[in-house]
């Protein structure tokens, strides 16, 4: 693959870190979009030491803060000619309902809306780079029952896992919409399940949810193994024909029946566009 410019969110730990390290070894110029720049700088030095690749860059980007997302995109647009790979890796699950500074429910903001705004803001660079957009979803999408009249979980009892599963379903909807809308412009998009990975991802859970995660730990895979499908989609030579698909263990698989719902997919796009409109320019 020729020189590749890759942007990745959530790279300071877990599968994001393993993905960034692996792609740096393959010679990618890697832009680490991170919430905590100190951690990002430490990771940058770790990657440079391990790979001898000096084309590693750190940028602040808090996906729960739409202004931060827009600012990161503006900096990238000011310094790059194109982006070839965008990996929307960051995610989170929250034990209790919380709102972002913009008033969005945090699970929705971090797992979906921040990435939606990032893609829309970077669209000129993604088009020029004939980019692959990779959205890290989850098999948790199979528990989703989306309510488009209450995306923010303000009108019903909040459930950490149901909110998370719904956001992961939205990753699949988003992927399919990107493939259909921007495929004619040379952009491809993929969603993936990384596996049940042993990381600090669900550290904030409490009560029964925390007990469940502790019981599951012996059966979890390593972050290195969990990163393999992201790495594959970012670097394999011939996957673009499978744009719009959901991957597991480096192969396309069938997601839940609701993930194929065209009405829901289109509704999510329309509502997401309305919500990010004040932050686009």
| Whole-number CA gyration radius for the chain | 17
Query: Helices 160-182 and 262-276: crossing angle, nearest 10°?
Result: 90
CA nearest neighbour of 113 among 230, 259, 273: 273
- Set 164, 173, 182, 232: catalytic member: 164
Domains of the chain: 5-279 (3.40.50.720)
Per-residue pLDDT tens listing for the chain (281 residues) = 457 999 999 999 899 999 999 999 999 999 999 999 999 999 999 999 999 999 999 999 999 999 999 999 999 999 999 999 999 999 999 999 999 999 999 999 999 999 999 999 999 999 999 999 999 999 999 999 999 999 999 999 999 999 999 999 999 999 999 999 999 999 999 999 997 655 555 555 455 444 444 544 444 557 778 899 999 999 998 899 999 999 999 999 999 999 999 999 999 999 999 999 999 97
Q: What counts of helices (H) and strands (E) characterise the chain?
A: 11, 8
Q: Where in 24-84 does DSSP place strands (E)?
A: 29-34, 56-60
Please say if 232 is a catalytic residue: no
Cβ–Cβ < 8 Å for 85, 132: yes
């Amino acid at each position: 693959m020729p020189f590749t410019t890759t942007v990745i969110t959530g790279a300071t730990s877990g599968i994001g870190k393993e993905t960034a390290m692996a792609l740096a070894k393959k010679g990618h110029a890697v832009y680490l979009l991170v919430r905590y720049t100190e951690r990002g700088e430490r990771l940058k030095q770790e990657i440079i030491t391990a790979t001898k690749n000096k084309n590693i860059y750190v940028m602040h980007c808090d996906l729960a803060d739409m202004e931060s997302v827009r600012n990161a995109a503006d900096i990238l647009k000011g310094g790059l000619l194109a982006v070839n790979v965008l990996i929307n890796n960051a995610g989170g699950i929250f034990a209790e309902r919380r709102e972002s500074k913009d008033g969005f429910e945090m699970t929705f903001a971090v797992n979906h809306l921040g990435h939606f705004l990032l893609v829309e803001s970077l669209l000129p660079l993604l088009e020029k780079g004939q980019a692959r957009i990779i959205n890290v979803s989850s098999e948790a999408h199979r528990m989703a029952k989306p309510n488009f009249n209450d995306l923010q979980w303000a009108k019903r009892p909040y459930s950490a896992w149901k909110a998370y599963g719904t956001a992961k379903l939205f990753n699949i909807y988003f992927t399919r919409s990107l493939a259909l809308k921007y495929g004619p412009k040379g952009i491809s998009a993929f969603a993936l399940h990384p596996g049940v990975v042993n990381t600090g991802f669900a550290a904030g859970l409490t009560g029964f949810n925390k007990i469940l995660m502790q019981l599951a730990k012996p059966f979890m895979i390593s972050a290195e193994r969990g990163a393999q499908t992201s790495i594959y989609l970012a670097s394999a030579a011939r996957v673009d024909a499978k744009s719009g698909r959901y991957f597991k263990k480096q192969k396309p698989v069938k997601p839940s029946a609701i993930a194929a719902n065209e009405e829901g997919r289109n509704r999510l796009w329309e509502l997401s566009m309305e919500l990010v409109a004040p932050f686009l320019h």
